[in-house]
Amino acid sequence: MKSPAKISLDAWEARRLALLNAGLEEPWYGGPLGRHLEEGDLRLQSLEFDNSTASLRLWNFLLSEEDRLQAARRQGKKIVGAMKDLGTVSVLASAAPELVSFYPDGAWWTPCLMECSDGLFAVADALGIDDRFCPVRAMIGAFETQRHFPIPDLLTCSAGATCDDFSAIAQRLEHLGHPILWWEVPYRRVPEHGEEAVELPGGWRAPVSQVQCVAQELEQVRHALEVLVDHAITEEELRNAIRDANEVRRLVNELRTLAYTSAPCPLPALEMLIIEVLPVHFCSDREECLAVLEELLKEVRRRVGNGTGVLPQEAVRIYWVNPPADLRVLNLLEECGGRICGADYMFGHARAPIPEDIRPMEALARLVLSDPMVGPAADRAAAICCEISQFGAEALVISRIPGASHCATEGEIIRHAVGQILPHLPVLEIEVPPIADALFPALRTRLQALVETVRSRGFQPRSRRQ
C-alpha cells in the first residue's frame, strides 16, 4: 500500500492503472479523473489530490453529478432545484423516493473548475449581473446555457435573510422564465427578555415564533413536493429522511474531528472541503454518498492509526473562513506550510445534527435558522472561536469572496470578536477570485508570512490524538 501523499492529475492516471491491475473495483461512475479534464474541468490539472482510492471515488462522485441527475430524469424522477438554504429542502425532498434534489448554487465553483472556459460569467454579464456580484452569478449562466445541470421540475429559494447577491440573481432567473417557489427565512434575532425560545442545532437560540414561521413556510415547500410526486409525504417518511441525513452528518463530523485534530494531517484540505459539501444534498445520491464517506473514514482511521499523513508533522494549523472561490488556494496553503484545522465554509448547518425527538418540520425549521449566514456575523464569529479552540488552530484566514455582499463587513466583525476571545491569534484576510493565478505570488507571500508568524511565536504543533 502506498504512503499517503498528494499527487497530480497525471500521477493519478498512472496510479489508477496500477490499482486496476491490482484488482481495484470502481463504482459505475468511476474512471480516470482525466476524463473530467477532457470534459472541460481544466482546473483539475493545476490541483493536487490525495492518493487514496477513497479520494479517487470522492472526486469521481463529485464530478459525475450531472450524469446522475440526467439519469434520474431518464428514470422518471422529478428534479428539485433547491436554492440557497443549503441542506434543508434536500432533506425534505429525500423523504420521497421519486425526487432527487440538487443546489444550482453549486455553479458557484464552475468557473473555477472550468477556468472560465464555460463562459458562464459572460452570460451573466450580458444579463446585467456583472462582477459586482459574487461568483454565484455563474448560476444564471448555467440556467441560460442549460449545459451544467438539467432544468429542475421545481425550483425553490429561501428569501428574507438571504444575501443580496443570491436574492437578486434568483429574482432575475425567475424573470427569465424559471418560476420559483419563494419561502421566507427571517433574520435570526436574539429572543426578547422573557420570550419563549429554543436551542438550534449548532447551539444558537431563536425565538419560538421565528421557528414557527419557518415551519409554516417549509410546509409550503413540502406541499409543492407532494404535488410534484402526487402523494403525501408522511411524518414517518420525514423522520426517516432526517435520520438518514443525520447519518451522513455524523460521518462528516467524525471525519472533520479526525482530519482536523490528528498530526500528521491525514487528509488534504481540498478533499476535506468536498466532504464538508456532501451533506448539503448528498451530491444527488444519499446511499452512494454514505458509501463514499464510509470508505474515506476507513482510510482516515487507518492513516491516523498508522501515524501517517499527507503533510509534515509541523504544518501550521489554520482555521479557514468562507469557501475559497479558487480551489487551488487550499493546495497553496499547504505548500506554504499550513494545514486546515477547522473551517467555516458558510454552510455549517448542513452538518449539524437535526433533532430527531421533535416534529420533523419543526426540526427542519430549527435547522434553517441555524444557518450561520441568516444571523449576525458576531454569532458566526463566536462559533468560529469555539471551533478554533476545539481543533487547536493557531491562526485564522478569512477568505473574502469577490462581490459578496456580506464579505465587505463581516471580516471586521469576525476579526473583532476573535480578537476579544483569542487576542493572540494571528488573523489574515485575503480575497480569492475564481481564478487566482495572477494573485498567487502575493497570496503565497502572505500565507507564508502567516505561517512564519505562528512559528516564530513558538506555537507547538499539537494534537489531541498524538
Partner 1 sequence: MRRVCYFSPFIPREWIIAHGFSPCRLALSAELACAGAGAGVCPYAQALVARAERWDDALLVLTTTCDQLRRAAERIALQWAGRSHQDALFVFNVPATWGRGPREQYQAELQRLGDFLVRHGGRAPEGEVLEHHLERAAGVAVAPSRTAQKQGEDHTPKKGIPVAVVGGHLFTEHHMLHYLIRNAGGRVVLNGSEGGERTYPDYAGVSAASGPLEALATAYFDAIPDAFRRPDTGLGEWLARRVRERGAHGVIFHAYAWCDLWRAAHGHLAEVVGVPTLFLELGSSPEINGHTRTRLEAFLESLA
The footprint of ligand SF4 (CB under 6 A) covers: 134, 136, 163, 165-166, 346, 373, 401, 404-406
The partner in contact with residue 180, picked from ligand SF4, partner 1, none with C-beta cut-offs of 5 to 8 angstroms by kind, is partner 1
Residue 373 or 398 with smaller CB distance to ligand SF4: 373
Residue 220 or 390 with smaller CB distance to partner 1: 220
Which of 17, 20, 408, 442 binds partner 1 (CB under 8 A)? It is 408
Which of 407, 436, 443, 447 binds partner 1 (CB under 8 A)? It is 407
Establish if 163 lies at the interface with partner 1 (CB under 8 A): yes
Residue 11 or 159 with smaller CB distance to ligand SF4: 159
Task: State the minimum distance, in angstroms, from the CB of residue 88 to partner 1.
Answer: 16
Q: Is the peptide bond before 264 cis (omega within 30 degrees of 0)?
A: yes
Partnered with residue 395 across adjacent β-strands are: 318
For the record, the C-alpha cell of 378 comes out as 458576531
Task: Compute φ and ψ for 179, nearest 5 degrees.
Answer: -60, 145
Which of 89, 142, 157, 418 binds partner 1 (CB under 8 A)? It is 157
Establish if 364 lies at the interface with partner 1 (CB under 8 A): no
Sequence-distant (≥ 6) Cβ neighbours of residue 433 within 8 angstroms: 325, 326, 402, 439
Cα separation, 270 vs 58, whole angstroms: 11
Partnered with residue 321 across adjacent β-strands are: 344, 398
Establish if 366 lies at the interface with partner 1 (CB under 8 A): no
Residue 42 or 163 with smaller CB distance to ligand SF4: 163
CA Rg value for the chain: 21
Task: Compute φ and ψ for 116, nearest 5 degrees.
Answer: 65, 10
DSSP string, 16-53: HHHHHHTT----TT---THHHHHTT-GGGGG--EE-SH
DSSP string, 331-349: HHHHHTTEEEEEEE-S-GG
Q: Which of residues 117-146 bind partner 1 (CB under 8 A)?
A: 127-129, 132-133
Which of 221, 321, 404, 443 binds partner 1 (CB under 8 A)? It is 404
Establish if 409 lies at the interface with partner 1 (CB under 8 A): yes
Task: State the minimum distance, in angstroms, from the CB of residue 128 to partner 1.
Answer: 4
Which of 3, 216, 445, 466 binds partner 1 (CB under 8 A)? It is 216
Q: What is the largest CA-CA distance in the chain?
A: 68
Residue 163 or 451 with smaller CB distance to ligand SF4: 163
- Cα→Cα distances 103→83, 139, 397, Å: 6, 10, 27
- Crossing angle (nearest 10°) for helices 440-456 and 328-335: 40
Sequence-distant (≥ 6) Cβ neighbours of residue 245 within 8 angstroms: 91, 94, 279, 282, 286, 354
Establish if 110 lies at the interface with partner 1 (CB under 8 A): no
Cα separation, 328 vs 47, whole angstroms: 6
> Is 134 within 8 Å of 403 (Cβ atoms)?
yes
The partner in contact with residue 43, picked from ligand SF4, partner 1, none with C-beta cut-offs of 5 to 8 angstroms by kind, is none
Cα separation, 209 vs 4, whole angstroms: 50
Cα separation, 127 vs 130, whole angstroms: 8
Establish if 229 lies at the interface with partner 1 (CB under 8 A): no
Sequence-distant (≥ 6) Cβ neighbours of residue 129 within 8 angstroms: 137, 140, 168, 169, 172
The partner in contact with residue 378, picked from partner 1, ligand SF4, none with C-beta cut-offs of 5 to 8 angstroms by kind, is partner 1
**512564519: which residue's cell?**
452
The partner in contact with residue 174, picked from partner 1, ligand SF4, none with C-beta cut-offs of 5 to 8 angstroms by kind, is partner 1
The partner in contact with residue 171, picked from partner 1, ligand SF4, none with C-beta cut-offs of 5 to 8 angstroms by kind, is partner 1
Task: State the minimum distance, in angstroms, from the CB of residue 157 to ligand SF4.
Answer: 11
- First vs last C-alpha separation in the chain: 23
Task: State the minimum distance, in angstroms, from the CB of residue 250 to partner 1.
Answer: 32
The partner in contact with residue 41, picked from ligand SF4, partner 1, none with C-beta cut-offs of 5 to 8 angstroms by kind, is none
Residue 200 or 248 with smaller CB distance to partner 1: 200
Residue 57 or 406 with smaller CB distance to partner 1: 406
The partner in contact with residue 157, picked from ligand SF4, partner 1, none with C-beta cut-offs of 5 to 8 angstroms by kind, is partner 1
> Is 6 within 8 Å of 51 (Cβ atoms)?
yes
Establish if 305 lies at the interface with partner 1 (CB under 8 A): no
Residue 219 or 356 with smaller CB distance to partner 1: 219
Cα separation, 323 vs 407, whole angstroms: 12
The partner in contact with residue 136, picked from ligand SF4, partner 1, none with C-beta cut-offs of 5 to 8 angstroms by kind, is ligand SF4
H or E, element range at 181: strand 181-185
**441560460: which residue's cell?**
144
Establish if 183 lies at the interface with partner 1 (CB under 8 A): yes
Establish if 413 lies at the interface with partner 1 (CB under 8 A): yes
Neighbours of 146 (CB within 10 A): 9
Task: State the minimum distance, in angstroms, from the CB of residue 322 to ligand SF4.
Answer: 7
Binding site for partner 1 (CB under 8 A): 127-129, 132-133, 157, 159-165, 167-172, 174-175, 180, 182-184, 186-187, 189, 192, 209, 213, 216-217, 220, 376-378, 403-410, 412-413, 416
